[in-house]
């Protein structure tokens, strides 16, 4: 896997990096809610001031993947309430997505867009494309409304993800977007104490989180 190995396409020479603005992209997709095909356009999502959650997975009609998408579907409403557009992505075609959604009972609750990246351009850009298999690793990315990549997680094929943790990270990022001077400690959940980095906090994190 090498995100810089794209001599055939000069605009993909650099991978997306946390803390930097992503380049715009479009993908064809299957829309389970409408039952038809559509287009995912990152620029339009940004224009609507939406967060973007990209959920890459290896392939349709496999084994861990439907459990992940079902788990994500169970948290979809919470993510939407936080202002996120959720999009799953694999290197399958939009037609395969339609067939898989129609046949796999675990996907009955899926309402988010299922994007197709058969050429792997967007997958390479987010550095989840496995050149040996031609499939995507399990990558989860959060892009803020300004188009900046704020979170990146990549798992190997055999480890499924936890959508509740994705929601927690979304909640933290949404909070910090409104409170940029603060920072969220480990296991932070809405309502928990945050940290405000300063010279007074150096060596005193315990006291800040555990006041007498």
Rg (CA), the chain: 18
Contacts with 94 (C-beta within 8 Å, 6 or more apart), sequence order: 28, 29, 30, 37, 114, 116
d(CA 20, CA 2): 19
Annotated catalytic residue, options 15, 38, 65, 184: 65
Angle separating helix axes 64-81 and 163-178, nearest 10 degrees = 30
Residue 65 designated active-site: yes
H/E element, 103: helix 94-103
CB-based contact 67:54 (threshold 8 Å)? no
H/E element, 165: helix 163-178
Residue 205 main-chain phi, psi, to 5 deg:
-65, -40
**Which pairs count as long-range contacts for 6-11, CB under 8 Å and 24+ apart, including other chains?**
6/124, 9/121
Count of alpha carbons within 13 angstroms of residue 103, beta-carbon side: 9
Q: Which residues have a catalytic role annotated?
A: 65
């Amino acid at each position: 896997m090498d995100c810089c190995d794209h001599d055939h396409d000069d605009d993909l020479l650099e991978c997306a990096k946390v803390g930097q603005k992503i380049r715009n992209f479009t993908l064809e997709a299957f829309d389970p809610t409408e039952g038809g095909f559509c287009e995912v356009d990152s620029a339009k999502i940004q224009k609507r001031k939406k967060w973007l959650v990209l959920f890459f997975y290896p392939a349709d009609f496999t084994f861990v993947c439907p459990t992940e998408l079902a788990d994500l579907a169970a948290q979809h409403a919470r993510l939407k309430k936080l202002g996120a557009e959720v999009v799953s992505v694999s290197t399958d075609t939009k037609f395969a997505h339609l067939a898989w959604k129609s046949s796999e009972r675990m996907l009955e609750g899926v309402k988010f867009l299922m994007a197709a990246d058969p050429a792997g351009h967007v997958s390479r850009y987010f550095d989840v494309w496995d050149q040996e298999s031609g499939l995507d690793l399990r990558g989860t990315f959060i892009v803020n409304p300004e188009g900046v990549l704020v979170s990146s997680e990549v798992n190997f094929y055999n480890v499924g993800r936890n959508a509740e943790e994705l929601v927690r990270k979304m909640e933290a990022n949404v909070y910090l977007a409104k409170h940029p001077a603060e920072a969220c400690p480990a296991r932070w959940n809405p309502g928990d104490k945050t940290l405000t980095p300063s010279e007074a906090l150096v060596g005193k994190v315990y006291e800040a989180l555990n006041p007498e």
